[in-house]
Structure 1
């Protein structure tokens, strides 16, 4: 009887699991539709260009709160969704890599005719690692596609030894066939703190972007950047430590992924000349979303000091 019960349970579980995995993605909100189709220019008279590199597992929409503030300082703002994220293609199977994402940024700058212009890079989280690869190429003069004027990083795990991935990230990275199930359990709330939790509508927009075009099915492939960061640690950290352009790191100290004080101690030891504003005690992993004015002031202070 026990064996028959177990067989019946498995037969019942198969269609339930299939239905669970094929729940249609949430509808895109008007705000997301507007962001996808937006095309705005900044202040007249400025020659400054900023390219914004977003974090994992979200998209360029991470910058929407500071976008208007950037238009008051920059002539041109460029924000892309990396391959595998939000409105970009979600190819599978595909070997996603930081190197490919950096090449996409270079190709975009070439397409826009910016290969001979000096670019400001503003990055967050996953985007920080892409910025490190772009910085390495700039230092080596390997591609000549992107000339970096200034670099501003924020709450990215640029040192693998101080990075503390969330439990679900660890499971997804090594989840194999279970990954499609585990991605449905993903929550973005752990990277925020009680005083900086975004409203439900904002979290829903993030999840809608992740689910767009079955993006949840490539999360495990995208997470291989954690292994890439360990493998190429000397390559990318070395680039940060050896260039002469201005570098700025905006840090939310309640970050569970890059914890205080371990991250700060290593950063100050490695990049002794970099500026490192530490934001208010309640700010966590996504400062540009948690306190837009504090983040914007920290960034503009850096830009306006040159």
Structure 2
């Protein structure tokens, strides 16, 4: 009997050590280059990473890119060069809790704070008084909706928005279907910290692959880059806090959907129709009904939740067609 307990102890102790602390993976050369080309600014004592590229000399237009959950500004890497050929300036932050930005624990993450961080970044860069184009995806769609609300209501610090392009985000809570693990984490209570700790590359890669199309699956290197961005600063430990945005979308639906229905600025959506999170035709039928003034680009049938990564050429062409139309 004693030998049995010794054997259990010999197995349990190292497993507990792994549970308590698993070192984050090293940055790949591509991800290291992305980090090295960006920089940081301080927002209320918090370090926020961002990219800021000078682009086309003949343009005076600025585009700000707002990424999705659970990834980072690196989501835009495949269309970055194309955007710099069209815009004078291309700016993309990592939201608080994401990518290379700070990831404080026991923090009440909110869409409102993320919108204020975008305002703070644009003030830091000296462009807050300039008109900008917003290009958003997923979580970033909701941040863009809050920025649009502030612009509409002349709130202090507002961003002057020339156009808004959304893509595959939970604009309508009633047509959004979070993944099973997301539901567990956002409502897990005492279970959430355990789930955060148990999350690993295998579970992450299985989950994220489900929201890519069958012919547009990310490579293993791309999956590792996504996971490395999450694991930076132990970001896996704040997933449950970040996921409160799902509840915030429901709580503030009227505010954020109302911002879209009442806007007069050019509005567009680029949509991957195989998206299981915002499925077709349920999502798009409601979108067209509620926002008839918006123009729409629906990509090929096999494109899913990450259209800018799955079909960067189609995504970029759709976006530039929208911008050039006005």
Q: TM-score, normalization: structure 1?
A: 0.95
Q: Could you tell me which runs of 5 or more consecutive residues in structure 2 were left unpaired when the two chains were aligned.
A: 38-51
Q: Could you tell me which runs of 5 or more consecutive residues in structure 1 were left unpaired when the two chains were aligned.
A: none
Displacement, 1:92? Answer: 0.9
SS of 1:277's partner is strand
Note if contact 1:109-1:145 (Cα within 8 Å) is conserved in structure 2: no
Note if contact 2:197-2:236 (Cα within 8 Å) is conserved in structure 1: no
- Report what 1:131 is aligned to: 144
- Alpha-carbon distance between aligned partners in 1 of 2:34 and 2:295, rounded to the nearest angstrom: 32
- Alpha-carbon distance between aligned partners in 2 of 1:144 and 1:200, rounded to the nearest angstrom: 41
- Report what 1:179 is aligned to: 195
- Report what 2:56 is aligned to: 43
- Alpha-carbon distance between aligned partners in 2 of 1:12 and 1:182, rounded to the nearest angstrom: 17
- Report what 1:31 is aligned to: 30
Change (3 A) 1:191 1:85: same
Q: 1:236-262: CA deviations, max 9, x gaps?
A: 001111110010000000001000111
**What is the CA RMSD across the aligned residues, in angstroms?**
1.8
- Alpha-carbon distance between aligned partners in 2 of 1:13 and 1:241, rounded to the nearest angstrom: 56
SS of 2:295's partner is coil
- Report what 1:242 is aligned to: 262
Displacement, 1:177? Answer: 3.2
Aligned positions, number: 305
SS of 1:196's partner is coil
2:92 to 69, 79, 92: 79
Q: 1:171-204: CA deviations, max 9, x gaps?
A: 1112333232343233321111210101111111
2:253 to 225, 229, 233: 233
- Report what 1:70 is aligned to: 83
Tell me if 1:202 matches 2:222: yes
Q: Pairwise mapping of residues 50-61 of structure 1 onto structure 2 (< 5 A)?
A: 50-61=63-74
- Alpha-carbon distance between aligned partners in 2 of 1:168 and 1:10, rounded to the nearest angstrom: 30
Q: TM-score, normalization: structure 2?
A: 0.89
- Report what 1:13 is aligned to: 12
Q: Which has the higher strand share?
A: 2
Note if contact 2:165-2:319 (Cα within 8 Å) is conserved in structure 1: yes
- Report what 1:288 is aligned to: 308
